[in-house]
């Protein structure tokens, strides 16, 4: 059973607010990812990390930032939220050293920006 947790599950905030979506995993996985998913659409990679102090931007242009100070923790921050940021954000981790391992997903954070 996967042990990857996201908080908050649901968040409604006003434009211009700063928010941080938390993601933690207890599996000791080095690789962690943030995806954005709109209803009926494909997952888009916005950030990833292959280990502590390693972060990269994904293929989707994003105004968010991430940090990886500890293996188990990979928070995503939006400095100034806008209605276009309304979406579901999925955090995932993987243990595979050869990139072929499955991804374990958290339950997601559904963000609504008014």
Partner 1 sequence: GQNIDQPTEMTATEGAIVQINCTYQTSGFNGLFWYQQHAGEAPTFLSYNVLDGLEEKGRFSSFLSRSKGYSYLLLKELQMKDSASYLCAVMDSNYQLIWGAGTKLIIKP
Of positions 8, 27, 28, 41, contacts partner 1 by CB under 8 A:
41
* Contact stretch for partner 1 (CB under 8 A) within 13-21, 41-49, 63-71, 72-80: 41-49
Residue 76 within binding range of partner 1, rule CB under 8 A: no
The span from the CA of 60 to the CA of 21, in Å, is 18
The span from the CA of 2 to the CA of 19, in Å, is 26
Residue 12 within binding range of partner 1, rule CB under 8 A: no
The span from the CA of 6 to the CA of 17, in Å, is 19
Residue 97 within binding range of partner 1, rule CB under 8 A: no
């Amino acid at each position: 059973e996967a042990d990857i947790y996201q908080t908050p599950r649901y968040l409604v905030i006003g434009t211009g607010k700063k928010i941080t979506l938390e993601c933690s995993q207890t599996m000791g996985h080095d690789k962690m990812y943030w995806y954005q998913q709109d209803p009926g659409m494909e997952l888009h990679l916005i950030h990833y990390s292959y280990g502590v102090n390693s972060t990269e931007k994904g293929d989707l242009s994003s105004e968010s930032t991430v940090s990886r100070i500890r293996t188990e923790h990979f928070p995503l921050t939006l400095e100034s939220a806008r209605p276009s940021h309304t979406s579901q954000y999925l955090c995932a981790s993987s243990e595979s050293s050869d990139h072929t391992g499955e991804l374990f997903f958290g339950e997601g954070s559904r963000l609504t920006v008014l």
